[in-house]
Amino acid sequence: MTPYEQYRPRFAPYAQAGYNFDPDRLADYTAATGWRVDDYAAPLPPEASGLPEAAGSFAAAQGVLRRYEFPPPGLITGIFAPDGPLEGRIMLLRGRFLGFSFWFGVKVWAVTDEAARPAPTGPERVWGYGYRTLEGHFERGQIDFTLHKNLASGAVDFRIHAVSQTGRIRNPFYWLGFKLFGRMLQRRFARQSLQRMQQLVAKQLIN
């Protein structure tokens, strides 16, 4: 039995759930208005200049990203229908902390696929996706995961951009726990996701 088949009943509340924030106001969500805006990046093995190589680090990272394998499994696990499209995908996230498990719903709202995005160091091949938090999530906001290859230098990197704020948490015990540890867990997720992406890509290139 696949994880999706095992936990399929848990998807029911999210089938018609809306976002727990207003994405049309994303430009207004800044540190000045009480939101956290985070950017992280990590280099991946470089390639030759030009388009991504068929068996290079960019292609390997695409597979890891599409399968949502990069988050640290001891902290976050993503469960979804394996045969469904990426855009519009509903993902059930299982978070683990201090022996507790927490379940959240997110939705992939867009897939980024740009052949030559302008950048200060030259055009980049960019691919990735972002998801938004659904009703019931402890956080609210949007996170984007993208791969960038500089077409001139061949440099490849994995980037995370997040806009977030604490959501509505009815359980006072969970509210206190998230208030105390939520920011630490956000940073751990980002840091370990970057490291795990590097490790998984390196392993695929060796094999």
Place of tokens 């207004």: 28
User: Which region among 3-17, 68-82, 95-109, 165-179 has the lowest average model confidence (pLDDT)?
Assistant: 165-179
Please write the tens of the pLDDT for every residue from 122-141: 999 999 999 999 998 788 99
| Alpha-carbon gap, residue 150 to 195, rounded angstroms | 21
Helix (H) or strand (E) holding 129: strand 124-133
Distance spanning both ends of the chain, measured CA to CA: 28
The domain 34-206 is placed in CATH, from the list 3.90.1010.10, 3.30.70.240, 3.40.50.2300, 3.30.530.20, at 3.30.530.20
Please write the tens of the pLDDT for every residue from 36-76: 999 999 999 999 999 999 999 999 999 999 999 999 998 89
Q: Residue 186: what pLDDT?
A: 86
Please write the tens of the pLDDT for every residue from 26-44: 999 999 998 999 999 999 9
Residue type, position 3, single letter: P
**Which residue has better confidence, 145 or 185?**
145
Say if residue 188's pLDDT is above 60: yes
Task: Order across the sheet with 76-79: list the strands.
Answer: 36-44, 156-166, 139-150, 124-133, 100-117, 90-97, 76-79
pTM of the model: 0.92
Give me the helix-helix angle, 57-66 and 172-206, nearest 10°: 150
Q: Residue 157: what pLDDT?
A: 98
The number of beta carbons lying within 10 Å of the beta carbon of residue 128 is: 22
Structural domain boundaries of the chain? 34-206
Q: Residue 201: what pLDDT?
A: 98
